A and B are shown apart, each in its own frame.
Chain A
């Protein structure tokens, strides 16, 4: 199954979150839904209530950013490494 690598920043909110989790699923959306089952509330840290990736969050499959930030339909396969990271853009700006 895909391996999801998670920024340590998220451990602040989910202290038992591992740095990497083996997660079943066929799309990035599936992976986040599964992580939300393991860590209730997790999904809303990464996506908003419409399912869109938050503006200052990035998801990569291997080295490539996902294409579908609206619905996270990018396919994943067993053995894929998926990274959930904060975007550097979020550190700037008015808030």
Chain B
């Protein structure tokens, strides 16, 4: 069981330690600065914080002394010539622009949205998912980062735009999460390394879907069969999906889970196929995060919201839903969670599970932890900054 939680918040990084049965936050690190994601590298214990400074740009910081001090890691930068096809927010003005020539834009990093640590056989390898939709990899623990060009140049993005004009149709749409950065661009928010094979990596893109490499990033293929998008004329389209978060069961890695805009989905065959396991009658459908059990392929947790039109708790009360049968049924747990006047939204990275512990944090600065697999909850803090990510160390 983990005895530490990392919280990335709008006002800095909080380390929360479990001592004598109590979870207690330390004084905040990076005070006053927004942090989009924070996690501990399980291989060497380095703590990572993805800085999201509105003025001075995105940056990475790391701590090699368990959070006592932090240092700058090398910046993630797009190489010269990296371009993407401009996406317009689908409003009436954009519709007037439809049919006009493709506009290519020079890529610059807006945000490091998520990190994925390589396997034990790949010390120093870390993947970074970013806005505007590039995946970067360091092979030296953050001294240098390289854009994964096969994914950036994938045919689903229009092909090799370093070389010239698009040679295929761009299938990657923008994510509303990018609008705060002034553009409507895609974002990679989930980077999932197969614990059996470090060269097998899934990434999830808003808005495109899930795409995987089985050869260490040299080639990529979409894996969205069985996905349903209720917002497309053809719900079974290969692309255009909006996975909010994707994760897998480390003990049985062919089991993946996906909280999507259009429901909760799971795969039992390494993302070769997906099936929807949402059950609106028990209020499991819309939400952002999902957490998988370490060992049991059939267990996962979500924190549902009312709907995409009403992004708030259901009936004013917070609850966590757990399935123990692969999504066939869901149980709701409310003990210890407030049941009225809750407007908490739990972002896609703000729920995590480790052993019997589960923790989530909300946009309204509330953080709750369970040590009995989500059945009852205690409060870590109620006046914390908006929480962007929650990760057990």
Please list the residues of chain A having a beta carbon within 8 angstroms of any beta carbon in chain B.
9-10, 13, 41, 44-46, 48-50, 52, 54-57, 86-87, 90-91, 93-95
Contact = CB atoms under 8 A, between A and B. Distances in A.
Contact of B55 (A41, A50, A52, A57): A57
B180 interface: yes
Contacts of B109: 48-49
17 contacts: A9-B55, A45-B56, A46-B56, A49-B77, A49-B78, A49-B80, A50-B108, A54-B56, A54-B57, A56-B55, A57-B55, A86-B56, A90-B54, A93-B54, A95-B36, A95-B52, A95-B180
Nearest to A55: B182
B179 interface: yes
B340 interface: no
Given A41-B75, A49-B108, A94 B55 contact: no
A49 B132 CA distance: 13
Interface of B: 10, 34, 36, 52, 54-57, 59, 72, 75, 77-78, 80, 106-109, 111, 179-182
A82 B108 CA distance: 25
Contacts of A93: 54, 180
B72 to A, nearest CB: 7
B32 to A, nearest CB: 9
A44 B77 contact: yes
B180 A13 contact: no
Contacts of B180: 93-95
A52 B106 CA distance: 10
B382 to A, nearest CB: 22
A45 B182 CA distance: 18
A95 B10 contact: yes
A30 B57 CA distance: 20
Contacts of B107: 50
A10 to B, nearest CB: 8
Contacts of A10: 56
Nearest to B31: A12
A33 B73 CA distance: 20
B57 A95 contact: no
Nearest to B34: A95
Given A56-B55, A95-B181, 5 more contacts: A10-B56, A50-B108, A86-B55, A95-B34, A95-B36
A93 B52 CA distance: 13
A54 B34 CA distance: 16
A10 B109 CA distance: 20
B77 A94 contact: no
A95 B52 CA distance: 8
